[in-house]
Structure 1
Amino acid sequence: MSQFQSIFKRYEKKYILTSWQKQKFLETAKLYLAKDKYFHSTICSIYYDTPSRLMIRNSIEKPIYKEKLRLRSYGTPSADDKVFIELKKKYRGVVYKRRTAMTLREAEMFLSGKLLPKTQIEKELAWALKYYEGIEPAMFVSYERDSYCGIQDSTLRITFDSNPLIREEKLSLADGVWGEKILQDGLYIMEVKTPYAMPLWLADELDRFKIFPSSFSKYGTGYINSLKKQNTSELENVQKIKKLA
Structure 2
Amino acid sequence: MKLKNVFQRKENKYTLSMETYKLLRHYLAPYMTEDEYGLHTILSVYFDTEDYALIRHSIQKPVYKEKFRLRSYGVPTNQQQVFLELKKKVKGIVYKRRLSLKYTQALDYIENPNSLSPDSLRDQQIKHEIDWLYARKHLSPKVLIAYDRRALAAKDVKLSDFRITFDFNIRYRTDKLNLLEGDFGEPVASEIGVLMEVKALGAYPLWFSEILSELSIYKCSFSKYAQVYERYLFKEELSHVI
TM > 0.5 fold call = yes
1:118-149 deviation digits (Å, cap 9, x = unpaired):
322111111111221x2100100000000000
Q: Give percent identity, aligned residues only.
A: 38
1:20-68 deviation digits (Å, cap 9, x = unpaired):
1111111111111011122221000100111111111111111111111
**What corresponds to 1:169 in structure 2?**
175
TM-score by length of 1: 0.90
Query: Would you say the 8 A contact 2:12–2:199 is kept in 1?
Result: yes
- Cα displacement (A) at 1:172: 1.2
Taking the TM superposition and a 5 Å limit, the aligned residue runs for 1:15-94 are 15-94=14-93
- CA 1:129 to 1:191, structure 2 compared with 1: closer, same or farther past 3 Å? same
- CA 1:227 to 1:86, structure 2 compared with 1: closer, same or farther past 3 Å? closer
- Cα displacement (A) at 1:229: 4.0
Query: Would you say the 8 A contact 2:168–2:194 is kept in 1?
Result: yes
CA distance in 2, matches of 1:186, 1:116: 40
**What corresponds to 1:120 in structure 2?**
125
CA distance in 2, matches of 1:104, 1:65: 30
Query: Would you say the 8 A contact 1:34–1:150 is kept in 2?
Result: yes
CA distance in 2, matches of 1:178, 1:196: 36
Show structure 2 runs of 5+ residues with no match: 119-123
Q: Which amino acid aligns with 2:127?
A: E
- Which of 140, 144, 147 lines up with 1:140 in the alignment? 144
**What corresponds to 1:207 in structure 2?**
213
- Cα displacement (A) at 1:171: 1.1
- Which of 153, 157, 161 lines up with 2:163 in the alignment? 157
1:12 is aligned to 2:17: no
Q: Name the SS of the counterpart of 2:35 in structure 1.
A: strand
Query: Would you say the 8 A contact 2:105–2:116 is kept in 1?
Result: no
CA RMSD of aligned residues (A): 1.9
Runs of 4+ residues over 4 Å off in structure 1: none
- CA 1:205 to 1:71, structure 2 compared with 1: closer, same or farther past 3 Å? same
- Which of 196, 203, 217 lines up with 2:223 in the alignment? 217
Query: Would you say the 8 A contact 1:117–1:123 is kept in 2?
Result: no
Show structure 1 runs of 5+ residues with no match: 235-245
Q: Which amino acid aligns with 1:204?
A: E
- Which of 215, 228, 232 lines up with 1:226 in the alignment? 232
Q: Name the SS of the counterpart of 2:20 in structure 1.
A: helix
Q: Name the SS of the counterpart of 2:79 in structure 1.
A: coil
CA distance in 2, matches of 1:154, 1:220: 30
Q: Name the SS of the counterpart of 2:36 in structure 1.
A: strand
Aligned pairs, how many? Answer: 233
CA distance in 2, matches of 1:51, 1:104: 24
CA distance in 1, matches of 2:30, 2:228: 36
- Cα displacement (A) at 1:183: 2.2
